[in-house]
Structure 1
């Protein structure tokens, strides 16, 4: 990549983070419906056009962009990979998705706090989690077969969501620890609890 390309990428990442951070602060202070894209542009010191060049919707700013798994990741999972152990494979996918998003611990914590306190953000997050859960259940049933059971698959996905939430709480305590280490710790604790 050229120096100009590198500078552009750094600026893009910085602007994305600033827009998300400002949107989360506005939501925390005013509520999801208490601010406009013009308010965000002013808070982030960018033009309204810049906001829409980076994000299509307010929900993407507050909750993060919706994430679709690459087809090759889904195909590998359905085929029984990457480890051959269903829960470990789900953890692997979740870990990659979190790391792909850039997993800025401070931004993740602010996002979690907003999602826990703002009723509109909670409702939108719930809708997104339902879609993610349904997609994951479908992947699990494709891999394991219908006899695995939708209820069992849902429980597995809910356990994974709980572990991700635990990772966020752990990062709140130690922002310096790498995300994969926090995930390993949370999974280890979940295994210990389930085996006790």
Structure 2
């Protein structure tokens, strides 16, 4: 005999479906008209819910946009957690970021990233998200290495990796073409090249 879904399970599923519809319709409107031109009433009408009901799912337009990136910190942390503990820190960060960009970038990610970049009201919140990813990444790398949570090398590596992600996304938006992971690889390669060149120059000065 087929088991019936519990009322709690049905409510949770219905809530998740409504949450997804609001997010999808709102992002469609934002991309079509621009973030500032869309009101909460517009979104409620598109989803056929009341404005009051809309607030049960999202408190603001900004929250809707950032909900599309809600999984980003967790995905980065999990990718770092899968890296070998004996892998050099910079390699650990690069490989985790490449995994995240290769496996977890949705089809509309470029359009969403462009919307955030071009909307002043969204940029501050986006920066806060990156700062959280930086702190979380440093913590996970320290755990993998068996180091204190505030280890300086892990914090520097995490800050560098997040900076590279931001630069890679900007290049991805500006130049188009290759997938995001290609720009990430190029940015890490550029960093390593700078380090090698600076080391050679420093060594040459010491031998003079």
Same fold (TM over 0.5): yes
Residues 111-190 of structure 1: pairs in structure 2 closer than 5 A: 111-114=116-119, 117-118=120-121, 121-146=122-147, 150-190=151-191
What is the TM-score normalised by the length of structure 2? Answer: 0.62
Equivalence for 1:8: none
Distance 1:122 1:140 in 2: 27
What is the TM-score normalised by the length of structure 1? Answer: 0.65
Gaps of 5+ in 2: 1-19, 198-208
Of 103, 106, 124, the residue aligned with 1:102 is 106
Work out whether residues 80 and 86 of structure 1, in 8 Å CA contact, stay in contact via their aligned partners in 2: no
In the alignment, does 2:91 pair up with 1:88?
yes
Distance 1:155 1:128 in 2: 18
Distance 2:165 2:77 in 1: 23
Shift of 1:127: 3.3
Shift of 1:17: 5.7
Distance 2:21 2:179 in 1: 20
Work out whether residues 27 and 65 of structure 2, in 8 Å CA contact, stay in contact via their aligned partners in 1: yes
Distance 1:135 1:156 in 2: 12
Equivalence for 2:75: 69
Count of paired positions:
167
Work out whether residues 41 and 48 of structure 1, in 8 Å CA contact, stay in contact via their aligned partners in 2: yes
* Closer/same/farther in 2, CA of residues 127 and 70 from structure 1, 3 Å limit: closer
* Closer/same/farther in 2, CA of residues 194 and 62 from structure 1, 3 Å limit: farther
Q: Following superposition, which runs of at least 4 residues in structure 1 exceed 4 angstroms of deviation? A: 13-18
In the alignment, does 2:26 pair up with 1:19?
yes
Larger Rg: 2
Distance 1:107 1:187 in 2: 24
Gaps of 5+ in 1: 1-12
